[in-house]
Structure 1
């Protein structure tokens, strides 16, 4: 039994196809099939039911895959130990970022990070929280930046910063004349929200429902981007809430519509998350250090008081 054979098994279990698994592993399909056949012969069992389309794991095969994931991950840890001993911080690192964080956070830290750690090959994807959790659990992401807490037993969370909510209230809205707003004044009746699936949407709904018995389905108008929410708000269709970092790039006319909350300000928790196996910790630590140094400084400079966030559901 070899690590390579187990790696091939995991690839077939994921893709349910020998040809696709071979492509992922950068070997020929006969080579991959032969190695898996050798492992099955050695163990005297069948890992895959090849008579079904797509290919399925046998009952014992499912148990083997669970253990194979642990063994392969532990083999990667050996390289981690060597890299840390040598002080090497580099190699490929797959990072996911949620849509409401990506456009504001990435430009703030990326240039600094790649300059400081030129040997790291960052591969960044914009993904929903649900996609991120799935990919981290399956080993397709090394880490991600998402709103937390997630309360997932397979994932560890390291807080990067707390980002306050800021009201975007157009001139024709009843709350526009107020210098600051209170949480209890928010209403889902005229709140513009992101589409279902965005964790920032859930944060706003939770915020409104904390102080009032409101149902999320009262409001019908939703959008896929924060920029669209701002435009709809300017058309008099309601108010919306923005993540604090999204307010930095607004033009001066739009900034006149920003209204901050009375302290303590409601906020969301944004964290660097990764699998509990803690692979590539030296890169995770480097990311955490760079991002916190930049973002926390930006938020502190604006003199905004942050409180514990609402739970993400």
Structure 2
């Protein structure tokens, strides 16, 4: 059997379809099917149950897939070893970033990174946390930037910075007149939230977890952007919470509506995360050093309380 054949097996296991797997592997469907048939004949087992739609792994097939992932990863590590020995930092690197971090952090470090490491081809995707975890596990991302802790067994986390929550409170709200606020000042019923799927939303819900929600609310709205939430707050429909870096881009007028929390400030932990097999670790280290060097000048908060992004059951 060959590494290429194992990659074909992994592709079919992931996509549960021979035609789609062939497209993803940039080969024809007959070629991919023939190579998988060869490996099944060599092992004298059926890896896939082709009678089911979508295609399913057999019991032995699942074990073969698990081992194939290890073999493919270790094979790719050979190139990593050579690159590190030569001091070469380059090649394709796939990075995922969650939507509430992408607009603020990416412009801060991207230009600096590509100038310092011109041989690295960064492929950046904006993805929610669940999609990031899935793609890291399937080998479709090399690393990601997300709110942590995630408590994923096969994923390592390196903390980049702690980013406080900041309240956006218009003049018509009683809390606007306070110089700083506490969690007790928050009313979960009047907080405008990001839509489901955003870990920043889950962090806010965890922050306010001890508050009872009023079921007689006049409306419930969830948006995909902070800009929409800010505009709705200005219309007198509530308040919202923002990540600290996002507040730096607000106009001077809107910044007057910001209220910081008393210490310890509730904050999210932002980390660089990657599979524990540590493939392309030399590029991961370069990325971490670049971001850490830039972020220190923007965020200096020390006394913070980390709010978990994990949904509470």
**TM-score greater than 0.5 by the shorter chain:** yes
- Equivalent in the alignment of 2:122: 122
Contact 1:205 1:216 survives alignment (8 Å): no
Q: Which runs of 5+ in 2 are unaligned?
A: none
Tell me how far apart the structure 2 counterparts of residues 275 and 61 of structure 1 sit (CA, whole Å): 23
Residue 281 (structure 1) aligned with residue 281 (structure 2): yes
Shift of residue 305, structure 1, vs aligned partner: 3.8
Residue 92 (structure 1) aligned with residue 95 (structure 2): no
Partner SS for 1:19: helix
Partner SS for 2:177: coil
Shift of residue 195, structure 1, vs aligned partner: 1.0
- Equivalent in the alignment of 2:18: 18
Pairwise mapping of residues 64-213 of structure 1 onto structure 2 (< 5 A)?
A: 64-209=64-209, 212-213=210-211
Shift of residue 20, structure 1, vs aligned partner: 2.0
Q: Which runs of 5+ in 1 are unaligned?
A: none
Tell me how far apart the structure 1 counterparts of residues 293 and 139 of structure 2 sit (CA, whole Å): 28
Q: TM-score if structure 2 supplies the norm length?
A: 0.94
Which of 289, 306, 311 lines up with 2:308 in the alignment? 311
Structure 1 window deviating more from structure 2 (146-155 vs 57-66): it is: 57-66
Tell me how far apart the structure 2 counterparts of residues 237 and 153 of structure 1 sit (CA, whole Å): 41
Pairwise mapping of residues 225-304 of structure 1 onto structure 2 (< 5 A)?
A: 225-300=225-300, 304=301
Count, aligned residues: 308
Contact 1:99 1:126 survives alignment (8 Å): yes
- Equivalent in the alignment of 1:33: 33
Residues 295 and 192 of structure 1: CA distance in aligned 2, closer, same or farther (over 3 Å): same
List 4+ stretches of structure 1 deviating above 3 A. Answer: 215-219
Give the aligned CA root-mean-square deviation in angstroms.
1.5
Pairwise mapping of residues 46-61 of structure 1 onto structure 2 (< 5 A)?
A: 46-61=46-61
Tell me how far apart the structure 2 counterparts of residues 140 and 204 of structure 1 sit (CA, whole Å): 30
Tell me how far apart the structure 1 counterparts of residues 120 and 50 of structure 2 sit (CA, whole Å): 40
Tell me how far apart the structure 2 counterparts of residues 221 and 161 of structure 1 sit (CA, whole Å): 30
- Equivalent in the alignment of 1:214: 212
Contact 1:167 1:260 survives alignment (8 Å): yes
